[in-house]
Chain A
Amino acid sequence: MSKIKYVEHSGKEHEVDVPDGWSVMEGAVKNLIPGIDADCGGACACATCHVYVDAAFEDKIPAKSDMEETMLDFAQDLQPNSRLSCQIKVTPELNGLTVRMPKSQH
């Protein structure tokens, strides 16, 4: 289990325990945290689970795959710390991670 903090665009915070091995997207969906749509269910096929990751953790999260890189191109309000949360696997190293959500996933 690792603690992940999800911050909605409005600023509302949700801190939850997510099992290691799950994706950051699943941690949000399974805890009914709004703002991450994940239309495709985690297949890296929709770019609707876009988040901004905490700068302190950028080095601890494995680099983007080509697939994620190209899919992110279709997300709104892209920033250098943009990621697709379905592609971030929760590990003990990510305990304490904060992800922020964009204004909209579509």
Chain B
Amino acid sequence: MTERIVIIGAGQAAVQAIATLRAEGFAGSLTVVGDEAFPPYQRPPLSKAYLSGAMDRERLFLKPDAFYAEAKCELILGVAATAIDRTARFVALADGRSLAYDKLLIATGSRVREIRVPGAKLPGVHYLRTIADVDALRPAFKTSKSIAIVGGGYIGLEVAAVARKYDLTVTVFEALDRVMARAVSPILSDFYERVHREAGVEFKLNTGVEAFEGGGKLEAVRAGGKSHPFDLALVGIGIMPNPGLAEAAGLSCQDGIIVDRFCATSDPAVFAAGDCTRHHGRDGNEIRLECVQNAIDQAKHAALAMVGKPTPYSEVPWFWSDQYDLKLQIAGLIQPGDVQVLRGDPAARKFAVFHLRDGVVAAVEAVNAAPEYIVGRKLIGEGARVAPERLADTAIPMKNIS
């Protein structure tokens, strides 16, 4: 019988697991340990409303203290878990304590990928992943004139949009030939690059950063063999999963903790959820998903399995990004070779790109186009076939598309 559940990692997945475990009647003890000083909070607004100052810190927290009290869940914050003993079934903490468990959920998330070039540790070179990161970056926005953004992905472009609001001179350095190349199709990349250029952002594509330069603090960025003066830099070159504890405990890992459809690891008493995991996606490929949806849904399925009600995880992944007045919503995973269908007009700043794989709707990228996103997500979940000419015809409302 499961009497003690321990969750390592105090993020989005932890909150969902607590809610599902208690809703499903788990009556044993529940403990969450997290290395950040804060109770679980939303990360997506960090690079958007929290950075711009539109949202204060209090609003970031996912749940009030009363939630944890009512769920009789102990939160141990600001303390790292240092080891998992799977034989004796306990988790060792950095402060010397150890937490015994019957079932364990690892939800350790991810960390920023660090740039390994000379000068990367200079003051003025920032990353963005935590509340503390933004609390350090925002004041620098007010005292700086120019920012170099290294990496044209979601984080880099969201920060670029906020930086333009602060009237900073913004240059994005991207090693690949288009922005958000890992996340979106070329139509979207071109559209977002154009929007940012119109807002005054400069781009240096196909350009990796070679060094950060300065005496005591950042003064310039070396790229393409030249020094470009900047007084601030934000590095957003992706994240890496945190499977370290699991690896050290001998669980199967490969660029992430490997979990099955029920979110169990190679040890049936140990589950994992969120950014730190690798699983077989809906189309059978092994994938690692870095998003809120995956953290929530895997945590839900892990919790169900822990209380003896396993159900397989097969939810459609979804993502979003806010830049300027544009709300980007994506459902499904795009793949090279998909047939792309454009619905609407990018010039109107309201359009969607559907991706068909063997005639089946596999993904949708929607810009200020919520119906396309919502219906698209449903069609993907159903594995529906829709004729490309119908998808492209804006005279047919999305509600009646299939």
Are B374 and A74 interface neighbours, CB within 8 A?
yes
Q: Report the nearest B residue to A46, measured CB to CB.
A: B374
Q: Closest Cβ of chain B: how far from A29's Cβ, in Å? A: 8
Interface string of B367-381 (1 = CB under 8 A from A): 010110110000000
Min CB distance A81 to B, Å, is 20
Contacts of B42 in A (CB 8 A): 41
A32 close to B370 (CB less than 8 A): no
Chain B interface helix/strand/loop/mixed: helix
The answer, yes or no, to whether A47 is at the interface (CB within 8 Å) is: yes
Contact with A along B58-73 (1 / 0, CB 8 A): 1101011011001000
Do B327 and A67 touch (CB < 8 A)? yes
Q: Which A1-47 residues sit within 8 Å CB-CB of chain B?
A: 19, 22, 26, 29-32, 40-41, 43-45, 47
**Shortest CB–CB separation between residue B121 and chain A, in angstroms?**
34
Within 8 Å CB of A32, what residues of B? 63-64, 66-67, 70
A40 contacts B370, C-beta separation under 8 Å? no
Q: Do B327 and A43 touch across chains, with their CB atoms under 8 A apart?
A: yes
Name the distance in Å between A35's Cβ and chain B's nearest Cβ: 14
| B364 adjacent to chain A (CB < 8 Å) | no
* Interface membership of chain A positions 42-75, coded 1 if the CB is closer than 8 angstroms to chain B and 0 otherwise: 0111010000000000000000000100110110
State the Cβ distance, B72 to closest chain A Cβ, in Å. Answer: 14
Query: Given the complex, which residues of A lie within 8 Å of B58, measured CB to CB?
Result: 19
- Known: A32-B70, A67-B327. Contact between A44 and B370, CB under 8 A? yes
* Interface size grouping (class) on chain A: 10 to 19
Residue count of chain B within 8 Å CB distance of chain A: 21
Please name all residues of chain A whose beta carbon is closer than 8 Å to the beta carbon of B97 when the two chains form the complex: none
CB–CB B64/A45 < 8 A: no
How many Cβ-Cβ contacts under 8 Å join chain A to chain B? 41
- Which chain A residues border B329 with CB–CB below 8 Å? 45
**Chain B contacts for A40, CB-based, 8 A:** 320
Residues of B within 8 A of A29 (CB): 63
Q: Residues of B contacting A30 with CB < 8 Å?
A: 61, 63-64
Q: Which of B64, B66, B292, B374 contacts A41 (CB 8 A)?
A: B292
Pairwise interchain contact A67-B368, C-beta atoms closer than 8 A: yes
CB under 8 Å from chain A, chain B span 335-393: 368, 370-371, 373-374
* B44 at interface, CB cutoff 8 A: yes
Is B226 an interface position by the 8 A CB rule? Answer: no
Q: B44 contacts which of A41, A70, A73 (Cβ < 8 Å)?
A: A41
B399 at the interface (CB under 8 A from A): yes
For B292, the closest partner residue in chain A by CB is A41
* In the bound complex, CA of A45 to CA of B364 (Å): 14
CA distance A19 to B177 in the complex (A): 45
Q: Given A22-B59, A45-B320, are A67 and B64 neighbors across the interface (CB < 8 Å)?
A: no
Residues of B58-110 at the interface with A, using a CB-CB cut-off of 8 Å, are 58-59, 61, 63-64, 66-67, 70
Q: Which of B302-320 contact A (CB under 8 A)?
A: 320
Residues 24-47 of B, flagged 1 when their CB comes within 8 A of A and 0 if not, give 000000000000000000101000
Nearest 7 CB-CB pairs, A to B? A71-B370, A70-B370, A30-B64, A74-B374, A70-B371, A45-B329, A43-B320
Provide 27 A-B residue pairs closer than 8 Å at the C-beta atoms, listed in order of the A residue: A19-B58, A22-B59, A26-B59, A30-B63, A31-B64, A32-B63, A32-B64, A32-B67, A32-B70, A40-B320, A41-B44, A41-B292, A43-B44, A43-B320, A43-B327, A44-B327, A45-B320, A45-B327, A45-B370, A47-B374, A67-B368, A70-B371, A71-B371, A71-B374, A73-B371, A73-B399, A74-B374
